Amino acid sequence: MIDKNAFLGKRVLVTGATGFIGGRLTERLALEYGAHVKAFVTNFANAARISRFAIEMVQGTVTSRSDVLRAAEGCDIIFHCAYGNRGTDEERRQVNVGGTQNILDAALQVRASRMVHVSTMIVYGTAIDGDLDESMPLCYSGASYADTKIDAEKLIFNYGKTKGLPVTIIQPTAVYGPFAPSWTVNVIEKMKRHRLILVNGGNGLANPVYIDDLIDAMLLASYEEKAVGEAFLISGGERITWHDLYKRYEAMIGEPSTVNMSIDQVKAHYKSSLKAEFFLTEFFSIMRDQPMIRRRLLKTFPLATIKKISEPILKKYRNSSGKKNSSPVLAKLDKTESVEKPIQVLNPLMLEFFSVKTNVKIDKARQLLKYSPRFDFKTGMNITEKWARWANMVNYDL
């Protein structure tokens, strides 16, 4: 259990506060724990979700030392959830490693009682078949996200040791729940247009964790004495396969949205899909179904030009396609026959990730953090479904 008074009136800095994890952390700190949250915001366009709380928003970027220091001023606890998810590899590195350095310096300067850093289980690589715990070596993979997270972790522990800054690292697994981009929103959005591949029938382990369990772990990590200088893997603690996870989303969508494939079949399917035709279809379907991406893409110069020329054609295309989320009035009237959805193309680089049976152990978190997941898969998914219906991601009148 989390100490109800641990955050009362405390000044808490949250970086990445407009994101999924930082956003929910901000929400719970403000609503449940009466903390004085300083939300570090890089882009106010993403701030609508946290704007409904009585919090302080501080604009800046983690790559600016002065921005970070200004934000950290007077803060007792610092949660570092920001990471680089755009730009070149070098730009991401600057955010993930350089930004972390700035946070550490600021935490030391303001004498923060704890700096909690959100990392990822991917720092151990994606090839572990069997039990995974924190004693496993960190494993560089060549992928920018994972590698920069490893470098950030090394930096943090080294800094903690040499400068005496109390630091704790949290390594979440596949985080799902309301607003979760990777393991909720993207899966549902993809499933609406495609059948997703269950590699080897989906018998690999997904290790999902419901967002609020992760937040619990982060909150515990910010004051438990035994957490200082430690890293903790955080999962939901159940043996859940990709089959379990995808089938649950498929049930929300209410139509066949998965397909079983062997590794060889995935590779063959990938090969056959490498045709221009496929990319065009894919492009149009993204342009049609993803308004956020569409708007962003259409602002780039080449596409703005193409848009001018192709507007009439696109319009025709839009009109002719039976749009899923169209109005209930029309949906009732022009029910088109359902056509089997195309199979999603899975890059063979992802095969290992989806086929291994990594069993993430959370014994260390249970022991030192007193972490105990409160949401079993069934409960977490039921809440997630309620949210997805509210968010109009799946049909609300089903």
Partner 1 sequence: MNKLKLGIFGCGKVTESLHLPVALQSNAFEVTCLVDTHFSRAEKLAQQYGISSVSNDYHKILNEVDAVILATPNHLHAPMTIDLLQRGVHVLVEKPMALVSSDCEKMVLAAKHSNCVLAVGLVRRFYAVSQFVKKIIDNRLLGDICDFDFQEGSIFSWKVTSDFMFRKEAGGGVLADTGIHTLDLLLWWLGDVNDVRYFDDFAGGVEADCRISLKLKNGASGIVELSRLRNMRNTYIITGERGTLEVGNRFNAEISLHLKGHAQVLKGSILTHGQPDRSMHEVFDKQLNDFAIAIKNGTQPFVSGDEGQRAVKLIDDCRSVRESLIYPWSVPVDHPEVCQ
Confirm if 217 and 209 have CB atoms less than 8 A apart.
no
> Quick check: 312 binds partner 1 (CB under 8 A)?
no
- # chain residues binding partner 1, by CB under 8 A: 43
| Window contacting partner 1 (CB under 8 A); options: 133-141, 159-167, 265-273, 383-391 | 383-391
We find the least distance from the C-beta atom of residue 49 to partner 1, in angstroms, to be 6
Nearest to 41 by CA among 31, 89, 53: 53
Q: How far apart are CA 194 and CA 345, in angstroms?
A: 9
CB of residue 130 to partner 1, shortest distance in Å: 32
Please tell me whether residue 57 binds partner 1 under the rule CB under 8 A.
Answer: yes
| Closest alpha carbon to 375 in 208, 182, 205 | 208
**Nearest CA-CA partner of 361 in 207, 132, 103:** 132
Q: Does 336 engage in binding with partner 1 (CB under 8 A)?
A: no
Instruction: Select the span of 26-34, 90-98, 275-283, 353-361 touching partner 1 (CB under 8 A).
Output: 26-34
Nearest approach in angstroms of CB 162 to partner 1 is 37
Q: How far apart are CA 301 and CA 298, in angstroms?
A: 8
Q: How far is CA 168 from CA 222, 229, 348, 354, 365, in A?
A: 7, 5, 34, 29, 12
311 lies in the site for partner 1, by CB under 8 A: no
At 130, give phi and psi (nearest 5°): 115, -160
CA 285 from chain centre, in angstroms, equals 23
Q: Which of 295, 301, 308, 347 binds partner 1 (CB under 8 A)?
A: 295
- Tell me the per-residue interface mask from 144 to 183 with partner 1, x by CB under 8 A, - otherwise: ---------------------------------xx-----
Stretch that binds partner 1, among 120-128, 159-167, 336-344, 388-396 (CB under 8 A): 388-396
Q: Would you count residue 371 as binding partner 1 (CB under 8 A)?
A: no
Compute the CA torsion angle 118, 180, 386, 293 (nearest 10 deg).
Answer: 160
For 392, other C-beta atoms within 10 Å of its C-beta total: 9
Instruction: Return residues touching partner 1 (CB under 8 A).
Output: 27, 30-32, 41, 44-55, 57, 59, 177-178, 212, 291-292, 295, 325, 327-330, 333-334, 374-375, 379, 382-384, 386-387, 390-392
